[in-house]
Structure 1
């Protein structure tokens, strides 16, 4: 894809606040999308609300033969009505100092309608946005998180309308260019107060048109934390861009935490990288020597039939100056680094062999025709302990659905949820082993694939 020139945004960031009850205005025609290249934030209001198109239906734009039979086939297997909490054996929750955070890629309506090949086995009614929206809102309300980080949001006003009655405020940051989706955050206004709001438009750094949100919240007037929300670039071949986006998020989150006297950090989102990938290694060990990796395999989403990682000790991969600069921030530096000692909330808790992999991460947080695996995470720094996580579904259960969404799940991702408890800051970390010093070759030898890669369209954005 051609690189889009970065453009500074002049559009004000918008905030959703619970409005006073008012009579419903007449339905208005939806506004045209903003001009290409602008970063857009939205304010939820009646005049900005896009009308629901009841005529919309799931279709195959290319009218591929064989599609019509789908509506007559047997329905998807039903999923369990609930998921279970997995509790930490160490962390103890005292009243008032716990905060529950959800990360959820809700599958943008625009993306679902323009990638029918990914949802070939999904019933027609399960793909309709009005049905998926109700399921998404119902799921969020059921788990009742204090903070919600959403990705692939292209109908923010409709999601926001479903959140207002539960006491949530929200903000939205749209991607730049000709895309329609973005990231959104919601928080319970009775428990949390937004102290500072920031975002990253990665197109300003020639790192594609993705965006990230970074905010500072105060819980119950006492505890503070930084919350980051990101949807990393999908394209498996552009590992340099993926790494650069993540590195920039970590650096900016750290700077904001230091500004507020070293408060703890939680990073949520769809990182489009699997637990057995080099990018996951970068997140957990604080550094990555990119010369030992092929950029097309950094995220673990490449379907190569070769295990080139076995040759890491003998082979140096070729990176252009631009790719190195994207990945590490400097064209003559081959080691990407970040300043945060991160822990994965799911990996830190007790494992279940039915739905956890080698690293302790879920075996799958996303499932469609071409991918079954884990790409969604909730990371945190010191100052917080993870007291419980909402376990995912077993692989066998997911396989029986033949793909998400279903009539019970509104997206092709499962929401992940963790409860965090604020702890006293730790003065000295010297007793911990510095994982960043481990041997790269040994790390590669012990890796086992946690995800099932079926195939990928490398041309996808």
Structure 2
């Protein structure tokens, strides 16, 4: 048989008397093999082949699997006067797990992340391990592009699931998982924002029954990232609130929980819209609406001309003739309602950071809820100093560039009348927004 050089290179090493491997020794020449040392060394197996992953120097053992790293320590913060948790308590997690496709297509965001920490097989184990560790009744995931793999793992742990994928070239979507022993799905709806010319993001709206008694609506959304399209972000958020409210009314005014990556900071106008029910968009620059665009040039232009077109106004408010966007829900943010430590909480009571990569350190993930529910505890986030020491997420201990946020909700005895809410939107805008941002931006470029 003719000699085939390429075939010879792919053949496994001979099983007889393998040469001893040494750790930590630099290659004697460019391209020489390097053994990646760690606390755990997999047994040598001649049946496995070497591989050279993109971006990795040297060769890495294909059969190596790192052991499960411990979940970083996070403490529970309890409400001062919350009712005792019982059978009607429901824990809900919101977690942007960083789509595999997005991680590979945006390497500039993860320059300081070890290549093996970005590999999907490693991140998947960490993500599932963390979800299992906190053992939430409901899990709302965003940026899910390996849904079958995640769903198979979750099914083995007693979860049912629902998935809504994005349209177009996007490969990810939103997925909601619930424990079948405690929760029953009563109705399911979804929003494809591309049908309303609001880009190809998606949201889920579902009605659940807890323990055969209490009912509530759950929304799961991943809002558009693009910082300069605040009009589209506003439109997506507004439409989710309207759809959730309609579904709650259909089921006799049951309470609502909204989870997701809203891609807006606590200092932003969109956060104000969520928390106060109204926003006059004419007083804001759409490029600054979500708080993600910190460029000085954008701020300078906004002082000169906000430049809202009829189409942008229609995206934000629902009508080109209406400059005030509004929604009918009295929303409270679970983390803002429970006081945390100053090392990881900001001016608004929200976490200082739920996401960290090369160009952003700040909060964009939330769990909102309406009257009829009380938040009895939240899983506090990590201190900012601890996050900074990682130099960026994900790591070998954390599987995404977002932290999962978790809150426990209990059903309150009485639902407060929404008419009792004071209209805070008429107060002086400049006084309400005179706060110093706690978020840190590393670049003014638009990813």
Q: TM-score range by the shorter chain?
A: 0.7 to 0.9
What does residue range 6-17 of structure 1 map to in structure 2 within 5 Å? none
Pick from 354, 373, 390 the counterpart of residue 365 of structure 1: 354
What does residue range 125-136 of structure 1 map to in structure 2 within 5 Å? 125-136=116-127
Q: Which residue of 2 aligns with 1:231?
A: 222
Q: Which residue of 2 aligns with 1:406?
A: 395
1:58/1:113 contact within 8 Å kept: no
Pick from 206, 210, 213 the counterpart of residue 204 of structure 2: 213
Q: Does 1:449 align with 2:437?
A: yes
**Larger deviation, residues 429-438 vs 233-242:** 429-438
> CA 1:297–1:327 in 2, change beyond 3 Å: closer, same or farther?
same
- In the alignment, the residues of structure 1 paired with residue 51 and residue 105 of structure 2 have an alpha-carbon distance, to the nearest angstrom, of 13
What does residue range 67-146 of structure 1 map to in structure 2 within 5 Å? 81-146=72-137
Q: Which residue of 1 aligns with 2:275?
A: 284
> CA 1:382–1:58 in 2, change beyond 3 Å: closer, same or farther?
farther
Q: Which residue of 2 aligns with 1:386?
A: 375
Q: Which residue of 1 aligns with 2:428?
A: 439
What does residue range 195-214 of structure 1 map to in structure 2 within 5 Å? 195-214=186-205
RMSD: 2.2
- In the alignment, the residues of structure 2 paired with residue 393 and residue 118 of structure 1 have an alpha-carbon distance, to the nearest angstrom, of 20
Pick from 336, 341, 347 the counterpart of residue 347 of structure 1: 336
1:291/1:334 contact within 8 Å kept: yes
- In the alignment, the residues of structure 2 paired with residue 431 and residue 278 of structure 1 have an alpha-carbon distance, to the nearest angstrom, of 23
Per-residue CA deviation, residues 283-339 of structure 1 (Å, 9 max, x unaligned), is 001011111111000000012226959997xx6622101000000000111111111
TM-score of the two chains, using structure 2 as the length reference: 0.83
2:137/2:179 contact within 8 Å kept: yes
- In the alignment, the residues of structure 2 paired with residue 345 and residue 232 of structure 1 have an alpha-carbon distance, to the nearest angstrom, of 19
2:206/2:217 contact within 8 Å kept: yes
List runs of 5+ in structure 2 lacking aligned partners.
1-48, 61-68
Any idea what SS the aligned residue of 2:425 has? Answer: helix
Any idea what SS the aligned residue of 1:217 has? Answer: strand
2:285/2:302 contact within 8 Å kept: no
- In the alignment, the residues of structure 1 paired with residue 290 and residue 267 of structure 2 have an alpha-carbon distance, to the nearest angstrom, of 8
Any idea what SS the aligned residue of 1:448 has? Answer: coil
- In the alignment, the residues of structure 2 paired with residue 227 and residue 144 of structure 1 have an alpha-carbon distance, to the nearest angstrom, of 18
Q: Which residue of 2 aligns with 1:264?
A: 255
1:80 to partner: Cα distance:
7.4
1:253/1:265 contact within 8 Å kept: yes
> CA 1:123–1:94 in 2, change beyond 3 Å: closer, same or farther?
closer
1:59/1:113 contact within 8 Å kept: no
Pick from 393, 411, 432 the counterpart of residue 422 of structure 1: 411
- In the alignment, the residues of structure 1 paired with residue 50 and residue 309 of structure 2 have an alpha-carbon distance, to the nearest angstrom, of 49
- In the alignment, the residues of structure 1 paired with residue 86 and residue 140 of structure 2 have an alpha-carbon distance, to the nearest angstrom, of 24
- In the alignment, the residues of structure 2 paired with residue 335 and residue 102 of structure 1 have an alpha-carbon distance, to the nearest angstrom, of 32
Any idea what SS the aligned residue of 2:90 has? Answer: strand
2:269/2:279 contact within 8 Å kept: yes
1:382 to partner: Cα distance:
0.3
- In the alignment, the residues of structure 2 paired with residue 276 and residue 79 of structure 1 have an alpha-carbon distance, to the nearest angstrom, of 33
> CA 1:57–1:152 in 2, change beyond 3 Å: closer, same or farther?
farther
Q: Which residue of 2 aligns with 1:191?
A: 182
1:140 to partner: Cα distance:
0.3
Q: Which residue of 1 aligns with 2:313?
A: 324
2:288/2:299 contact within 8 Å kept: no
- In the alignment, the residues of structure 2 paired with residue 305 and residue 80 of structure 1 have an alpha-carbon distance, to the nearest angstrom, of 39
2:371/2:416 contact within 8 Å kept: no
Any idea what SS the aligned residue of 1:360 has? Answer: coil
1:328/1:337 contact within 8 Å kept: yes
- In the alignment, the residues of structure 2 paired with residue 365 and residue 309 of structure 1 have an alpha-carbon distance, to the nearest angstrom, of 28
> CA 1:281–1:55 in 2, change beyond 3 Å: closer, same or farther?
farther
TM-score of the two chains, using structure 1 as the length reference: 0.81
